[in-house]
Chain A
């Protein structure tokens, strides 16, 4: 079974020797794309494109509110969320030495969902109160729930010594907490819809405050992660070899899992469960730039940020003036991209 899995895993990462782009040009393209998406984020919304463009050049009180207080923080916040997921995904895949690892593997998503459910039950909030609730109480509840899930997972795995135990514990805790959430919802079925918004993820409520918080968390996570990049490189040679090189695996794992936990908890707290970005962004970065973690830990957040901005735009564009949950869009796009990688690999094999 192990062999089968590693073949699949190899199928996904290796691909045909992709032409790698020089780093300066790669960064240039990435920034250009991000700027383009940011501009798109300003222009796309409930108003027509013509109105938005007019607003950009002839500001008034309404345009100031819509463009600078609603759309700009939202699109920058979406970038931060994507960057955090891209970072957490790259770190998780490095720690677990498994390209299918993703940021939620410590059970954070289910933990956050349970936290939100309990908060909703306690406050008796309705769908209408969601906007207010997401801004204030639910964020805290989600973060606490995610933190509890991580602690449970680490306790069940008895620390960070065995990565296979950690993966299994994450799955067990995830199922357990989801089951409790379902049982609680039996008592109040009308909460399902509110919770669904959260489970599919939404960037609609990101304001300047949330965006600033996400940006701070991104800095706090990205700096230590890039400092530890040599350790992640050493881990790709195997755990014993990494130890023989003078690495302390428990310390390294604890630090890196702490980064994954903080990043995902912040994301889940602010926008709910946005899937696939954390899985796909590292692959995109590896395919186009480098597998060296010194580059990967910068490139993967940049890819993730651009990806989520794009998904955010699509979610606002397709059913204008209504919106799709951004998590549903990322799942479609991310799933399609992974399928493409697999297809290209099997075609060449």
Chain B
């Protein structure tokens, strides 16, 4: 088992934000949003295009400076962490990771930067973490290939391995299942669940595919005008958050024990 930072009291969320206001230019994308991401649990962010899923992830990762509000990692404000220590605990995956000419293994090894620092010297722990992450994502086969020569799905798995190699307490993933076919989507979902339940990691991912998102432990539901709600999937369905967020265009149905979405019977097309 990978080494983890000491367990936190269950009451303290691994990552939380309070009254977060984020915008670009005149546009305010997130207006006083407060969410909590508990450890040991996979949380999915869902919402229509433009509702600020990626923006929320980037703000939580400390990549955007909020106009107001605070983000706390393990109870401490993001700004109070030393850069390197923060990067050891908080890993982020971009929506479209770059097509670099480095080899797959070189890219995954960069996930260990926060642990090793400037000197490219890697110790045994680093190599073990890299191997584990590549095996878990099934990307070991391409270890020596240039990432730019891989297919979109293969590339996605290499970058996922890079994020896992950090062995962080909080994973922020922007559309980790994008570019993947259904079996591989299922692999990623299983991986995220294993990280959450097996290793106690707080996993937060924006997921476009609603049926996939409904297999998560918790949901954060965003709409164009702000946060609709956050809670377990059951709570979300009982309170009808999804239907609100998608302007009554969808229904969620129980099909043989799995939640599936379908177009609402009486849905009115957007103008």
Contacts and interface: CB of A to CB of B under 8 A. Distances in A.
B100 A230 contact: no
Nearest to A228: B118
B179 interface: no
Interface of B: 58, 61-63, 83-84, 86-88, 90-92, 94, 97-98, 100-103, 106-107, 110-111, 113-114, 118-120, 146, 148-149
Given A234-B110, A244-B90, 4 more contacts: A236-B98, A244-B91, A247-B83, A247-B113
The binding surface of chain B is classed by DSSP as: mixed
Interface in A244-303: 244-248, 286, 291-292, 294
Interface of A: 13-14, 17, 227-231, 233-234, 236-238, 240-241, 243-248, 286, 291-292, 294
9 contacts: A233-B102, A234-B113, A236-B98, A238-B94, A244-B61, A244-B63, A244-B87, A246-B83, A291-B100
Contacts of A240: 58, 63, 92, 94
Contacts, number: 72
A241 B119 contact: no
A291 B58 CA distance: 29
A187 to B, nearest CB: 48
B118 A227 contact: yes
B25 to A, nearest CB: 16
Contacts of A292: 102-103, 106
Contacts of A241: 92, 94, 97-98
B58 to A, nearest CB: 7
Contacts of B91: 244
A300 B87 CA distance: 31
Contacts of B149: 17
B164 to A, nearest CB: 14
B148 A233 contact: no
B113 A245 contact: yes
A17 to B, nearest CB: 7
A228 B91 CA distance: 22
B87 A231 contact: no
A305 to B, nearest CB: 24
Contacts of A248: 83
